[in-house]
Amino acid sequence: MTSHEWKIHNPDGGKRVIVTKDLPGDRWLRLLIRADCRVEICTSTDALSVAEIKAAIGSHCDAVIGQLTENWGDTLFAALKAAGGRAYSNYAVGYNNVHVAAATRHGIPVGNTPGVLTETTAEMALALTFAAARRTGESERFLRAGKYQGWLPTLFLGKLLQGRTVGIVGAGRIGAAYGRMMVEGHKMHLKYYDLTPNSDLEAYIKDYAGFLKARGETPVTCERSDTLEDLLKTADCVSLHTVLDQSTHHLINAQRLALMKPDAILINTSRGQIIDETALVAHCRTHPDFRAGLDVFENEPALEPGLNELENVVLVPHIGSATSWTREGMAILAAANVAGILMGFPVWQQPDIAPFLKDNLPQAAPSIINALALNLVGPHGATTDR
């Protein structure tokens, strides 16, 4: 990194904060400046290496806002602690790039940005579902290549999802939002696989089924699958919304792909490593009616060899949360995490982070993952519904 790839705001601020990528909007920056922070922002679009981040931290740094493309482990948390650091926030709701235990050992609170990605990411999963089902990527490439010679009865026949079965793997906030969109918008029956029952989702769809029945329409159903295998066998499209950990790495592999319907649709807006992409490429090659829509990739930003050549796969470059409202909201939450810790505020203990997106922010750090481990919460404990 060179000096011209960094810009500095509020150079006389008493607290030094490093931000490893420029973030959208300016409210987050004003928040840090009001907290008496000198804010140094990396303007390069390249993902920073551990060595580059360590060099940027230097001998004095109070906090860092980092990215999911960075490896935040013992090396960086040790460097941040040695530089007097007191906080780190990931500019993401997920934090599989962060070794939280290492941060805790060094006494560094770790923040994330939940609550603003739900509908945005669910809408992207919806968009990928129908792009795959209706073959929009293939047909657009066909049209742009000048191959369209007029309407044909058999041109790019896709799959109708109305009234079929949608399966969601991981029925948390985003998975449940996607499920409701598919059920309400397209009268699909819902199956979900999650270690914990989602009683609110089940009750919501039961009420919606009653509404449909009262209008003389076929009621929808909601069922929690006992096994992932059962869901894969019966769903017409499957959307992945689970966290990434050791138990979900390559959760979708060759054996489980083989259980799916030959014309099923697989959607991933969660984390790329949940799918064994080598197996997915092989499956899509031998099952031309099978479709996939991917927003995330196993070795991001690299694509698995052969993936880019498949016409039955829709690919977008990790834009699931890419709306202005969401990305600016993420920046505000990341900055509020850092400012809150540096100013000695308590950790927010409510599941709703909406107050942080309004004019008068609460005097709190909105989401600190290791708050309990670092004894940063009051007697009522930290919120776990992140």
**Residues tagged active-site:** 271, 300, 318
CA dist., res. 165 & res. 235, Å (int): 5
Between the alpha carbon of residue 67 and those of residues 15, 122, 230, 331, the distances in Å are 20, 21, 36, 11
Phi and psi at residue 56, to the nearest 5°: -65, -40
What proportions of the chain, in percent to the nearest 5, are helix, strand and coil?
35, 15, 45
Residue type at position 182: M
Write the CB contacts of 16 (distance below 8 Å, at least 6 apart in sequence): 37, 38, 40, 60, 61, 62
In which order are the strands placed within the sheet that holds 291-294?
Answer: 222-224, 189-193, 165-169, 237-240, 265-268, 291-294, 313-315
Tokens, residue 61: 């740094």
Q: Which of 249, 239, 231, 237 is nearest to 177 (CA)?
A: 239
CA dist., res. 284 & res. 257, Å (int): 10
| 70 in Cβ contact with 60 (< 8 Å) | no
Between the alpha carbon of residue 378 and those of residues 64, 341, 346, 370, the distances in Å are 25, 15, 8, 14
Q: 204-217: b or e for each residue (b if 16 or more CB lie within 10 Å)?
A: bbeebbeeeeeeee
Residue type at position 125: A
